[in-house]
Amino acid sequence: MAGNAEIRAGRLSKAEIDDNFADLHPPLTRSEALIEADRCYFCYDAPCTTACPTGIDIPAFIQKIRSDNLRGSARTILSENIMGGMCARVCPTEVLCEEACVRNTHEEKPVEIGLLQRYATDPVFEHSDQLFQRAVATGKKVAVVGGGPAGLSCAHRLAVLGHNVTIFNRDSKLGGLNEYGIAAYKAIDDFAQTEVDYILSIGGIEVRNNLMLGVNFGLEDLRQEYDAVFLGVGLALSNNLGVEGEDLDGVVNAIEYIAKLRQAADKSTLPVGRKIVVIGGGMTAIDVAVQSKRLGAEEVHMVYRRGPEQMSASVFEQALAQTSGVTLHHWASPARILGDDFVTGVEFDVDRSDGGVRLDADVVFKAIGQRMDGNGLASLASESGRFIVDEHQKTSSDKVWAGGDCVVGGNDLTVSAVQHGKIAAISIDRTLRNR
């Protein structure tokens, strides 16, 4: 990106950028939380709990907020979802628990479950209040490959159950997409690492960073050395567009740029283009589009090959993009990327009678999904590039479980990955205890 004069840092001042990347949803005050908690009907067989992938007893944790028992509320949440703090920030609650809320009608809004969950859990992380205790040591060893939500969830539950866990992580930090792949305004103040530190504080978890499966070690090595293996390897590779001009300077993988943004100590030093085109319709596309605008890009266009109903980004995220100044285009597929040495625009085939359309650009972000790096994993049964697992997250291979985005049925949500890790840990525990 460095070769184009239109791409530069400092389009906005540091103060403006800091303001643009403030907390997307500021936390509730005590009075706000109590008022919101009072709106809950505390339904029997609550539909919000059924809609939560991790099965948190939502009425129970809200009732504890009403009685000022925040520690008990946090325990209710974190017992089912150890990453409840991050999920309170990044979960698409508008299509999960809050959509199922019985108050979600034309006349009124649903209970703000996500904000209440954050209100209950934040004090636990801020004060490193350990709510869990390890069981008696079993002497069993489990390898967890991948330090994202699935791997961390599995590791924590196994450690609580008394097993010794070693996490093999390809990055220099744990957290996976929570650390490297979400918009910076969704989790400020390095919260991803605060949550990681809390998870590791249970004890019994060894971390080995900067190690890649298939390069530094093999699956068979782990099967021989450990009593069980959990694979939470995610989708590490970005999909290509497969069009002319894709290799031009200025054509960038969105997930790589978001990672740089997330790790930048000073966001005002990041280069940003003047005219941005984002190709894709998911959460990553929304995140890179909105953040480009908040870094000072003059024009940001997001182009998706189908209609708004087919976008994997939620209605809330689509609205966030539009209110942030991003222009959304539908029913358009990239035909070729224009330019000589540097990208100058994109031509799209449009599903209408008057032919295609061209958008000028000095940066084009590719955000059309990721795929798994299957290096060293050919022995496992797979479908569409993801592992096949049973209802216990068990793979076709002896001693190997898997979860998160890398399995068939993974839906790119932190909360789902956490549930996969939890289910796998329970199954591993039962297997190791010969139950």
Q: Are residues 106 and 212 in the same domain?
A: no
Q: Is the pLDDT of residue 3 over 70?
A: no
Last residue in a domain, options 348, 369, 390: 369
Residue 266 burial (C-beta neighbours within 10 Å; 0-12, 13-18, 19+): exposed
Residue 12 lies in a domain: no
Q: Are residues 249 and 300 in the same domain?
A: yes
CA distance 152 to 139: 20
Beta bridge partners of 345: 338, 360
Residue 88 neighbours by CB under 8 Å, 6+ apart: 114, 115, 117, 118, 121
pTM, 2 dp: 0.95
For 174, the domain range is 141-236+372-432
The pLDDT value given to residue 376 = 81
- High-pLDDT (> 90) share of the chain, %: 90
Cβ–Cβ under 8 Å, residues 110 and 36: no
List pLDDT tens digits, range 103-132: 999 899 999 999 999 999 999 999 999 999
Q: Are residues 120 and 188 in the same domain?
A: no
CA distance 21 to 157: 33
CA distance 402 to 410: 11
Residue corresponding to tokens 């592992």:
387
Q: Are residues 386 and 402 in the same domain?
A: yes
Q: Are residues 269 and 418 in the same domain?
A: no
Q: Is the pLDDT of residue 435 over 80?
A: no
Q: What is the CATH number of the domain that holds 402?
A: 3.50.50.60
**Number of C-beta neighbours around residue 18 at 10 A:** 13
Last residue in a domain, options 323, 338, 369: 369
Q: Are residues 333 and 259 in the same domain?
A: yes
Q: Are residues 213 and 333 in the same domain?
A: no
Q: What is the CATH number of the domain that holds 81?
A: 1.10.1060.10
Q: Are residues 320 and 401 in the same domain?
A: no
Lowest mean pLDDT among 144-153, 192-201, 384-393: 384-393
CA distance 408 to 51: 20
Q: Are residues 321 and 425 in the same domain?
A: no
Q: Are residues 253 and 194 in the same domain?
A: no
Count the helices and strands in the chain (H runs, E runs): 16, 17
User: In which band, very low, low, confident or very high, does the pLDDT at 33 lie, cut at 50, 70 and 90?
Assistant: very high
Residue type, 370: Q
Among candidates 360, 355, 327, 364, which has minimal Cα distance to 344?
360
Residue 66 neighbours by CB under 8 Å, 6+ apart: 34, 37, 38
Q: Are residues 190 and 75 in the same domain?
A: no
Last residue in a domain, options 343, 369, 395: 369
CA distance 278 to 287: 10
Residue 136 lies in a domain: no
Cβ–Cβ under 8 Å, residues 363 and 1: yes
Residue 247 lies in a domain: yes
Residue 20 lies in a domain: no
List pLDDT tens digits, range 35-86: 999 999 999 999 999 999 999 999 999 999 999 999 999 999 999 999 999 9
Residue 4 lies in a domain: no
CA distance 62 to 120: 9
* 387-397 average pLDDT score: 95
* 324-346 average pLDDT score: 95
Among candidates 175, 172, 167, which has minimal Cα distance to 149?
175
The pLDDT value given to residue 119 = 98
Q: Are residues 208 and 174 in the same domain?
A: yes
Residue 24 lies in a domain: no
Number of domains in the chain: 3
List pLDDT tens digits, range 215-242: 999 999 999 999 999 999 999 899 999 9
Residue 103 lies in a domain: yes
* 241-258 average pLDDT score: 96
